[in-house]
């Protein structure tokens, strides 16, 4: 069997070697590698910058996909021919991280994927869906799962705003997952060309930080002085102070990367300090969370996780949204809504995407109104969000009329023969414009 190994640190020191074919022991699986992907961490590992004390020799690269070639005694999860991908941290199977769980990262603590065959514990693999190629599946274990995990714990709703840094793997996955959920995403990069490509993937607002270094001020301007709900922080110490200043009170920083490479002490900015708090972190109502990848809890959430990782999600935002919500794509600007009521599909009203009038349709979900489980269409107007709850035909409209509640305006209209509650965090005049657009659909 052929493989690459780090014998001494440095790119030029990588060795191409051969050794006998490994055999799986009890509870183990022999995996034939069909594709691998490279992460920035892999480069740091080879150079010795990630862990200078790493035991050598070591087979690099954490992410790979392939098929089961042979199973050891007692293996029940897999059989030869199954399409699989390895998880990043082989010992982190569920629950929160612990020192023991985070040991066993592929390509670091243990040999990685840059080989023709690898042997892993049967719990260290996940099934690769048929709609993903081996190449696509190999990109997911580290960067995609990290990004998915960051958004999962961010307590985000359709009114939330996310900031991504750069256009690397984690940031681009975070962008796509955030757009699947109808979130607003801001992005910074030093490359105008990369920002333009990210725009094509759905990035809402961009800034070249090499031209405007004080990007935290730009973020505050883009969010009316409030800051973002989640920062996908991949820079490390060099960017963290500005990330803290760009964060909304009560927001979350998902601390992931070390791209800035700085080992300087962290200079915490003065914004939103609480004098009575400990000197090492004097911030009110914010969370700074460190993230890794490989938690096999993703397996227990298989339907939801696979829906987010579905191949079509990366090719078409709306096709992926249709799989998770009652929105079916009719064309690029026309959507058919199939409400779910007591397991029955009601008559489908037609709703347009009013992007050209300043009210783009950005998402959908299932929610509750007046005790009824109803589909919700999510529109955006500038920095405001408008939810349209489509109620079942003939149902009583809770409350009736219009009312104000905690800064949100609630109005009831008739949408293609069915009552709809329109909830917005914008002012009444802007909401009236939107209601008029809905009336136009109904009339048409």
CA contacts within 13 A on the Cβ side of 429: 0
Look at residues 287, 240, 231 and name the one whose alpha carbon lies nearest to residue 259.
240
**What is the distance between the alpha carbons of residues 85 and 46, in angstroms, rounded to a whole number?**
22
**Using an 8 Å Cβ cutoff, are 290 and 255 in contact?**
yes
**Average confidence score pLDDT of the chain:** 75
User: Mean pLDDT over residues 421-427, rounded?
Assistant: 71
pLDDT digits (tens, 9 = 90+) for 308-353: 333 333 223 323 333 333 333 222 223 333 322 222 223 333 456 6
Percent of the chain with pLDDT over 70: 66
Whether the pLDDT of residue 144 is over 80: the answer is yes
CATH 3.30.200 is held by the domain 325-443: yes
pLDDT tier for residue 354 given thresholds of 50, 70 and 90: confident
User: Mean pLDDT over residues 247-272, rounded?
Assistant: 65
- Predicted pLDDT at 211: 95
Whether the pLDDT of residue 110 is over 60: the answer is yes
pLDDT digits (tens, 9 = 90+) for 396-423: 554 444 334 445 566 666 655 566 777 7
- Predicted pLDDT at 263: 46
pLDDT tier for residue 90 given thresholds of 50, 70 and 90: very high
**What is the distance between the alpha carbons of residues 102 and 322, in angstroms, rounded to a whole number?**
36
Cβ neighbour number for residue 94 with a 10 Å cutoff: 12
End-to-end CA distance of the chain: give it in Å, rounded: 67
Q: Please state at what angle helix 317-324 crosses helix 169-180, rounded to 10 degrees.
A: 60
- Predicted pLDDT at 438: 72
Stretch among 14-28, 63-77, 138-152, 378-392 having the lowest mean pLDDT: 378-392
Identify the CATH assignment for 2-138 out of 3.40.50.10860, 2.60.120.10, 3.40.190.10, 3.90.180.10: 3.90.180.10
CA of residue 263 relative to chain centroid, distance = 28
- Predicted pLDDT at 180: 85
Break the chain into its structural domains and give their ranges. 2-138, 145-290, 325-443
Cα-flanking dihedrals φ and ψ of residue 30, to 5°? -90, 120
The length of the chain is 444
Radius of gyration of the chain (CA): 24
pLDDT digits (tens, 9 = 90+) for 219-235: 999 999 999 999 999 98
Percent of the chain with pLDDT over 90: 41
**What is the distance between the alpha carbons of residues 251 and 188, in angstroms, rounded to a whole number?**
19
- Predicted pLDDT at 122: 96
**Which residue's entry shows tokens 């004097």?**
282
**What is the distance between the alpha carbons of residues 348 and 417, in angstroms, rounded to a whole number?**
10
Whether the pLDDT of residue 20 is over 90: the answer is yes
Look at residues 89, 205, 207, 83 and name the one whose alpha carbon lies nearest to residue 141.
89
CA distances from 143 to 137, 146, 314 (A): 11, 5, 14
The highest-level CATH class for domain 145-290 is alpha beta
- Predicted pLDDT at 418: 60
User: Mean pLDDT over residues 75-97, rounded?
Assistant: 91
pLDDT digits (tens, 9 = 90+) for 356-400: 788 887 766 656 555 556 667 777 777 677 777 766 655 555 444
């Amino acid at each position: 069997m052929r493989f690459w190994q780090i014998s001494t640190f440095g790119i030029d020191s990588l060795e191409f070697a051969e050794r006998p074919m490994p055999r799986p022991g009890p509870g183990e699986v022999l995996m034939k590698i069909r594709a691998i992907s490279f992460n920035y961490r892999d480069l740091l590992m080879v150079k010795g910058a990630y862990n200078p004390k790493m035991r050598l020799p070591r087979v690099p690269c954490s992410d790979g996909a392939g098929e089961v070639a042979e199973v050891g005694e007692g293996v029940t999860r897999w059989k030869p021919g199954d399409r699989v991908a390895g998880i990043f941290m082989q010992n982190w199977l569920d629950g929160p991280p612990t020192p023991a769980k985070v040991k066993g990262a592929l390509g670091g603590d243990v040999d990685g994927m840059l080989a023709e065959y690898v042997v892993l514990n049967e719990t260290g693999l996940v099934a690769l869906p048929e709609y993903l190629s081996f190449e696509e599946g190999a990109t997911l274990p580290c960067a995609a799962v990290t990004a998915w995990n960051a958004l999962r714990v961010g307590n985000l709703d359709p009114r939330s705003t996310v900031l991504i840094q750069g256009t690397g793997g984690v940031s681009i996955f975070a962008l796509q997952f955030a757009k699947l959920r109808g979130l607003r995403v801001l992005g910074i990069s030093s490359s105008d060309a990369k920002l333009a490509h990210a725009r094509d993937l759905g990035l809402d607002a961009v800034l070249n930080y090499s031209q405007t270094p004080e990007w935290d001020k730009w973020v505050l301007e883009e969010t009316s002085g409030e800051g973002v709900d989640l920062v996908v922080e991949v820079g490390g110490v060099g960017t963290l102070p500005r990330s803290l200043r760009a964060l909304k009170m009560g927001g979350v920083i998902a601390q992931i990367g070390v791209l800035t490479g700085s080992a300087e002490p962290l200079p915490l900015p003065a914004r939103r300090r609480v004098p009575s708090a400990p000197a090492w972190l004097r911030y009110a109502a914010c969370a700074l969370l460190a993230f890794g990848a490989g938690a096999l809890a993703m397996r227990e959430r298989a339907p939801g996780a696979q829906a987010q990782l579905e191949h079509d999600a990366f090719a078409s935002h709306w096709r992926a949204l249709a799989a998770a919500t009652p929105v079916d794509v009719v064309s690029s600007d026309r959507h058919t809504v199939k409400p779910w009521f007591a397991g029955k599909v009601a008559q489908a009203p037609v709703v347009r995407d009013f992007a050209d009038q300043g009210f783009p349709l950005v998402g959908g979900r299932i929610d509750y109104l007046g005790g009824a489980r109803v589909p919700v269409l999510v529109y955006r107007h500038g920095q405001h969000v408008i939810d349209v709850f489509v109620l079942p035909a003939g149902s009583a409209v809770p409350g009736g009329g219009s009312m104000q509640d905690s800064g949100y305006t609630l109005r009831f209209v008739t949408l293609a023969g069915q009552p709809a509650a329109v909830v917005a965090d914008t002012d009444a005049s802007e909401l009236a414009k939107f209601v008029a657009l809905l009336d136009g659909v109904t009339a048409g």
